[in-house]
A = this chain, B = another copy of it.
């Protein structure tokens, strides 16, 4: 299963190319974090084994294990944030923006379930997780709140800032709960994910499900939940 097993004694990198190993270490750590049943038990020696290098060699590139993990988490966090922003960019309306953002969030969460739980599962020691202010997702939450407020403005009576905040918070909790349970309880008979996303957003925006569905970007997740972890 391990991609290295016993290929070769690993030829050493040429002179100026010490950074190559660093990249390999990051890749290996990311793969293991995503793959392991218990990501928080990731081991320095596991990473070394995966790359085919001596445990001590890691210390030339990272001060300690925490730094390596932190590096990986930051990359993943930025990846998700970028994905959500890009999904929302071509949005023609506030509602379209919200739908695209949330869909991107959920899809990334179930597509990269291993990474999702290392970021949002509350499993990693808090000081390793990016999204500094309020723990993972501080900025993401802010974006969702703003997007939801924009999408529901003009609807019904205007809301206070507190109400907007609470509504955004509830939407995020709903999204997180959906992703978490979808990933962790694969044996439950789950309906198609896109239907859940549609209904969830319809519920939280008060718009008809059909309207939301029309705005949902293409791209149902390939397979059902817990169908094995996909690579990096």
Contacts and interface: CB of A to CB of B under 8 A. Distances in A.
B135 A185 contact: yes
A137 B37 CA distance: 20
A191 interface: yes
Given A38-B40, A117-B122, A165 B191 contact: yes
Interface string A102-141: 0000000000000001000111010000000111111001
Interface residues of A, number: 45
Chain A interface mostly: helix
A185 B37 contact: no
A115 to B, nearest CB: 14
Copy count, this protein chain: 2
A177 interface: yes
A196 B163 CA distance: 11
Contact of A190 (B125, B169, B187, B189): B169
A170 interface: yes
Contacts of A162: 191
Interface in A179-197: 180-185, 187-191, 195-196
A203 B169 CA distance: 14
B185 A181 contact: no
15 contacts: A38-B40, A117-B122, A121-B122, A134-B187, A135-B184, A136-B185, A137-B185, A138-B188, A162-B191, A169-B188, A169-B196, A170-B199, A170-B200, A173-B174, A173-B177
